[in-house]
């Protein structure tokens, strides 16, 4: 059992949402390699935040492990990536993708149901998952609890907020109400949960938030 993840079970998972992502586990959007343009955006974010070498990273909503691979390489042999997803099928794909990565752990669960050890992570990296948290205040409370003092929170999407919300709204599925908060609401949520916002960028092709536990 992970030193960072002392709880068992997955009772907090939203079954309808988990079923939706299970059905998407083999879709192209969830498995294709990042395009050159997408990799440039990811590299821009990695350059902005700091050197991740040796860090312990919490990755909620890891999907099929595409970003997990990059984070695993970034933290190196001295680091660790603890990755979660509510979709068991996506976790299975991620495990198959990263069979050679001994610095990664995968678990099926939702962030809001976790009882993570206090101050055990250097970074929480939310890639294309933040709108999907059923209770964003609870998710932020858990992230703040799990981060070390001065630890960093990254929220990253490869499209802007308007498009994120439009795609989800039009989905007509279990994710139809999964919205990214507007900048004012998100800033308030971060402030309420002891995060100091250091960078926010909302462009047509990129949504990037970088905050630090105060």
Question: pLDDT, tens digit, for every residue of 72-109?
Answer: 999 999 999 999 999 999 999 999 999 999 999 999 99
Please give the average per-residue pLDDT across 183-191, as a whole number. Answer: 97
Beta strands at 206-213 and 195-203: parallel, antiparallel or unpaired: antiparallel
Closest Cα to residue 94, out of 81, 111, 77, 79?
81
- Both tokens assigned to 129: 């998952």
For tokens 């809001």, name the residue: 112
pLDDT category of residue 7 using cuts at 50, 70 and 90? very low
Helix, strand, coil % over all residues of the chain, rounded to 5: 40, 25, 35
pLDDT over 60 at 5, yes or no? no
Sheet with 147-157, edge to edge strand ranges: 104-108, 80-85, 56-59, 121-127, 147-157, 206-213, 195-203
Name the nearest CA neighbour of 22 among 33, 10, 34: 10
The model carries a pTM of 0.94
Which pLDDT does position 146 carry in this prediction? 96
Reported as a single tens digit per residue, the pLDDT across 21-56 is: 999 999 999 999 999 999 999 999 999 988 999 999
User: What pLDDT, on a 0 to 100 scale, did the predictor assign at position 8?
Assistant: 44
pLDDT of amino acid 113: 85
For residues 45 and 74, give the distance between their C-alpha atoms in angstroms, rounded to a whole number.
12
Rounded distance between C-alpha atoms, residue 58 and residue 107, angstroms: 11
pLDDT at 115: 84
> What percent of the chain has pLDDT above 70?
95
């Amino acid at each position: 059992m992970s030193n960072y993840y002392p709880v068992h079970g997955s009772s907090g998972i939203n079954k309808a949402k988990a079923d939706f992502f299970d059905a998407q586990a083999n879709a192209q959007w969830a498995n294709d390699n990042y395009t050159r343009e997408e990799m440039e955006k990811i590299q821009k974010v990695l350059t902005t935040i700091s050197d991740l070498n040796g860090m312990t990273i919490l990755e909620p909503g890891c999907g099929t492990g595409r970003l997990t691979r990059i984070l695993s390489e970034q933290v190196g042999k001295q680091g660790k990536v603890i990755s979660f997803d509510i979709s068991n099928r996506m976790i299975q794909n991620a495990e198959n993708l990263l069979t050679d990565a001994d610095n990664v752990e995968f678990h099926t669960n939702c962030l809001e149901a976790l009882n993570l050890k206090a101050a055990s992570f250097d970074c929480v990296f939310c890639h294309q998952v933040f709108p999907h948290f059923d209770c964003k205040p609870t998710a932020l409370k858990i992230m703040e609890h799990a981060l070390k003092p001065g630890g960093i929170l990254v929220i990253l999407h490869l499209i802007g907020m308007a498009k994120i919300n439009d795609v989800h709204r039009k989905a007509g599925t279990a994710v139809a109400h999964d919205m990214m908060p507007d900048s004012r609401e998100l800033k308030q949520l971060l402030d309420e949960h002891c995060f100091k916002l250091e960078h926010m960028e909302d462009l047509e092709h990129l949504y990037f938030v970088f905050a630090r536990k105060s």
